[in-house]
Structure 1
């Protein structure tokens, strides 16, 4: 695992939409994570970790 991925995982824990944006760009994944984070923070964080780790 390289240092950029580790930094992105740390960002996913605190700012989930930013981590998804950095991993995938602006698209359906980022919008979904933004909605999940606004409604409930924890599902947004889990989805961001999923996106970052499967990238």
Structure 2
């Protein structure tokens, strides 16, 4: 089911980038930014939309593996995208660097 939804999301984003961003991030800053970028030029809207989708799926896979990122992705304002859509009820471990003694 995950692969089919990702393929459909990509096809929708190719046709109209703001709908792809809305499907992942919801109605918020990322959606409005993408609408503006699409109006300014079709290519910038696509680049932004695919970046949002990439960050969402990357963070979703990391969250399933039990890792959450401490920092938000640059240029992404949606909490849902930055967490990969996983709500995390204290069951996920933060990504840590080298262990200190």
Calculate the TM-score normalised by the size of structure 1: 0.91
Q: Determine which structure has more spread, i.e. the larger CA radius of gyration.
A: 2
In structure 1, the partner of 2:54 is 53
Unaligned runs of 5+ residues in structure 2 are 57-101
Q: CA deviation at 1:14?
A: 1.1
Query: Does 1:13 find its partner at 2:14?
Result: yes
More helix as a share of residues: 1
How many residues are aligned here? Answer: 55
Aligned partners of 1:5 and 1:45: how far apart in 2?
A: 16
Structure 1 stretches (4+) deviating beyond 3 angstroms? none
In structure 2, the partner of 1:43 is 44
Aligned partners of 2:38 and 2:51: how far apart in 1?
A: 14
Unaligned runs of 5+ residues in structure 1 are none
Q: Which has the higher contact order (CA 8 A, sep 6+)?
A: 1
Calculate the TM-score normalised by the size of structure 2: 0.52
